[in-house]
Structure 1
């Protein structure tokens, strides 16, 4: 039986690695390995009879958001059109799987022969850093491959805006943004192997630049500012200097695209503002229940004053407005509550851990990813992008890797007594 258990642990670790690698190349294979890993994790919990060890941080706000989304689907102007959104309610399962699978692998390392779980291993910061480092290695290696192909399309095939491995430059750009922030957090706050991370960061940032995804550029700058501020306010001075040097080195076409970020005279900026005006008008029609998910094409004819903009766009290029229109303001507030609770948990951990804590980079990874995500949501419907949310939920789980010998005070909210000063 122990032999079978060890094989299952190794298989779950392999599924987790392949899940992260295929995220940048095939979302279907990524989801298959994620589903297999989740099943193996549940089987191991049953085998070890460790139900009480399962944690659900952010459980209540995620549950409230899911229930309100379900109600919005039932009350939709076209329930059949809104039903496909149900599969998106499963995406937070990635977060809960990683939150529980990684500490389990820390307790039961697949590369070591153990006779059973060793609780004290899961409470060591070094073990958490090691597992986080391995996950970041697989994410970074796969991202390097995707960035390399992006650069090949840009400079060898001479594509103006390369579509990359996922055939979507916006999705790839936002993925590069998240990985860049995770690698920067490691480079700034980890204790070793930082030089290799910095070397790998260069082509990923280059891939982000050639993707021409302006929302990802803005999110990256905000996330970097957060990381540098946490490192020390003097480090913030590095950011504007680096940005000016990068801007000076860019070709004229890229410079022109950067300039459109700060001006409302750009055509795309004008269209976004018009979309937001349309969203505000629609939100006032059904502020409580919304119109339902994926119903814009069905109701846009009722608003001829916005016909000129609805002809070209199916959504509002703003996640906050989109949620309010699709599912109502209560659902939007429940979604914001997820990020409020996550921010509160992160703040508790930052206050509890010493600044020199070896696992502090895990907190910074999750914090910078969440902040950059919320910023990009001003410009794009990022939560409706499966590849992006999959990587986002994976990185959000990083701060929860470190376990303690004590029982957590609230396995649902995520509040727990961690290593204090």
Structure 2
């Protein structure tokens, strides 16, 4: 029986559905086994078979710039192996990196039809909907809620992580998708019922993001919204101020405002940012939290009981800030002492105990701990050259997006690129406080969705007449 569609199409379709939804992971000896570990080789094998049998064609997407950036970092990472104390994590890190590269090359170069891209969007959308609904159910019924890192939350049951294992990872996934949901709800759909239905899905995601209680993600979501408005100011505002949309926004904001610990966590988020960015600048919210220079009155909350609660919240936030900054200092110390090729790709955790022993002020009670910053991790493991090459990958990535943004005359194409610019920006920003780039499930979604979106917009903008209706 002849297969009607290329194997690559089916493999990508299932990957888009399963990878966000399936968090199960086990090990066969030292080798990990998870949805992305299974699906990336299957996509690769399917593409090789289809290409050999001429069941797929390649588009003319220009790969050379990003291929050179990928290759530059890979070469530097290989060279860094001479400093690696342990080769096992180094090899695993390189294997994961290559798998992302191969996946991106396949999905960005294979020429799918418009109908197939629609099916991809439906598959990913259905999976994302299940993930979001499960997140809400998880909180309501208290199913395996994460209780780590609550930092003085008094009302919340715990933190939601849905199928993404960790609340911080889940928050990043949500932020990657939220701009697209918002744009489809406000800009794309013309029918009022369709708009409200899509806005309901968007609201589920916003509520999930709140329930992760990841402060950096809340700030990143606002930044993503600002980017959406900046890139589509007239179009977005024109549609957003329609009565039914304004009412929808007011209802959502009201719900969010009265959710458990939202107000205190929001104040804490701004306070933490100010502590990190401008802790020595007077007159900010940090001063208002504790009162002006410790004087009576003038604090953010008045009254003895409120002052006691605020002092306690400030203390816990300070501890969180100090802990995170200490981790960053550890990464910086490792990078500064190994500036050329680092300590070896994948070897940050292997060398962590050595550095906190050497510098006791960096010890926070663990023999191994993540640096909580993807860029510092790369710099520590591959040196300044590796960090420059690594950042260059994402610079080229954004050059592609900006070119597609200005080249696309199709409303849907423009919307997709704006959503991708905003969503991926939140991903980059959140990597300043987490190692999200090194989370296989999350990073696979990033490159899979990015490649498909870029290829679709490239094909529709370059040859709009050849795509199927």
The separation in 1 between residues aligned to 2:135 and 2:211, in whole angstroms, is 8
Number of the residue aligned with 1:112? none
Q: 1:374 aligns with which of 418, 428, 435?
A: 428
Q: 2:414 aligns with which of 360, 368, 381?
A: 360
Most deviating of 131-140 and 363-372: 131-140
Q: Deviations over 1:135-154 (max 9, x none)?
A: 33222221222222222221
Q: 1:331 aligns with which of 365, 368, 386?
A: 386
Number of the residue aligned with 1:63? 71
**Cα gap change, 1:162/1:247 in structure 2, threshold over 3 Å: closer, same or farther?**
closer
Q: Deviations over 1:345-402 (max 9, x none)?
A: 2222222233x63321221232122211111111111111111111111232212224
Q: Answer yes or no: is the 8 Å Cα contact 2:352–2:367 preserved in 1.
A: no
**Cα gap change, 1:136/1:302 in structure 2, threshold over 3 Å: closer, same or farther?**
same
Q: Answer yes or no: is the 8 Å Cα contact 1:18–1:30 preserved in 2.
A: no
The separation in 1 between residues aligned to 2:70 and 2:269, in whole angstroms, is 33
The separation in 2 between residues aligned to 1:236 and 1:385, in whole angstroms, is 35
Is 1:140 the counterpart of 2:125 in the alignment? yes
Q: 1:348 aligns with which of 403, 417, 420?
A: 403
In the TM superposition, what is the alpha-carbon distance from 1:185 to its structure 2 partner? 3.4
The separation in 1 between residues aligned to 2:58 and 2:420, in whole angstroms, is 25
Number of the residue aligned with 2:106? 97
Give the greater-gyration-radius structure (CA).
2
Q: 2:165 aligns with which of 164, 167, 176?
A: 167
Is 1:384 the counterpart of 2:438 in the alignment? yes
The residue matched to 1:315 in structure 2 has which SS? Answer: coil
Most deviating of 338-347 and 384-393: 338-347
Q: 2:135 aligns with which of 150, 158, 163?
A: 150
In the TM superposition, what is the alpha-carbon distance from 1:191 to its structure 2 partner? 5.2
Counting matched residue pairs gives 380
In the TM superposition, what is the alpha-carbon distance from 1:247 to its structure 2 partner? 5.5
If asked which structure has higher relative contact order (CA below 8 Å, sep 6+), I would say 1
Number of the residue aligned with 1:75? 83
Is 1:231 the counterpart of 2:285 in the alignment? no
The separation in 2 between residues aligned to 1:348 and 1:235, in whole angstroms, is 21
Number of the residue aligned with 1:280? 332
In the TM superposition, what is the alpha-carbon distance from 1:200 to its structure 2 partner? 1.7
In the TM superposition, what is the alpha-carbon distance from 1:287 to its structure 2 partner? 0.9
The separation in 2 between residues aligned to 1:244 and 1:153, in whole angstroms, is 22
Number of the residue aligned with 1:393? 447
CA RMSD of aligned residues (A): 3.2
The separation in 1 between residues aligned to 2:11 and 2:160, in whole angstroms, is 30
Number of the residue aligned with 1:408? none
The separation in 2 between residues aligned to 1:191 and 1:274, in whole angstroms, is 47
Instruction: With the length of structure 1 as denominator, give the TM-score of the two structures.
Output: 0.79
Q: Deviations over 1:232-273 (max 9, x none)?
A: 16957979x87965653232x232222222223512112112
The separation in 1 between residues aligned to 2:180 and 2:438, in whole angstroms, is 22
**Cα gap change, 1:235/1:65 in structure 2, threshold over 3 Å: closer, same or farther?**
same
The separation in 2 between residues aligned to 1:217 and 1:176, in whole angstroms, is 10
Q: Deviations over 1:93-125 (max 9, x none)?
A: 222222134x33x1xxxxxxxxxxxxxxxxxxx
The separation in 1 between residues aligned to 2:95 and 2:419, in whole angstroms, is 27
The separation in 1 between residues aligned to 2:463 and 2:340, in whole angstroms, is 39
**Cα gap change, 1:85/1:258 in structure 2, threshold over 3 Å: closer, same or farther?**
same
In the TM superposition, what is the alpha-carbon distance from 1:330 to its structure 2 partner? 0.9
**Cα gap change, 1:64/1:394 in structure 2, threshold over 3 Å: closer, same or farther?**
same
